[in-house]
Amino acid sequence: MTRYEEAIPRGGMSVRERELRSALHRLLHGQGLVHGTLLERRRTCGKAGCRCARGERHMSLYLVVSEAGRSRQLYVPRDWEPAVRAWIANYGQARRLMDELSSLHWEKVRQRRR
């Protein structure tokens, strides 16, 4: 038996399961998360003397999420970009942790053990 397969009598959780649950708890309670993606758009403002009139378009960042089957977009101000990127990464990490927990529980059901 590996260290991750060791069953602990208290609740029957393995060391790995406790580690995953702890990591997920820290992620969900310590930081923000959002299920979405970032979209960069290049645009022109329409001012004749602006650099975008010469082809150097302005960059805008949008958060794209799906709500009730429809895509929604929300402008992300430049100073919010680091936080929004972190929240998106946190969502991905939470999802990976939940997938691994799900696999552990799938195996418990398969082996008929709690």
Is 79 domain-assigned? yes
Range of the domain at 69: 25-110
pTM above 0.85, yes or no: no
Q: 33-89: per-residue pLDDT in tens?
A: 999 999 999 988 888 888 888 888 889 999 999 999 999 999 999 999 999 999 999
Q: What is the mean pLDDT of residues 19-27?
A: 93
Residue 59 lies in a domain: yes
Q: Is the per-residue pLDDT at 4 higher than 70?
A: no
End-to-end CA distance of the chain: 17
Largest CA distance in the chain: 73
Does residue 8 carry a pLDDT above 80? no
- Is 1 a member of any domain? no
- Whether residue 15 is contained in a domain is answered as no
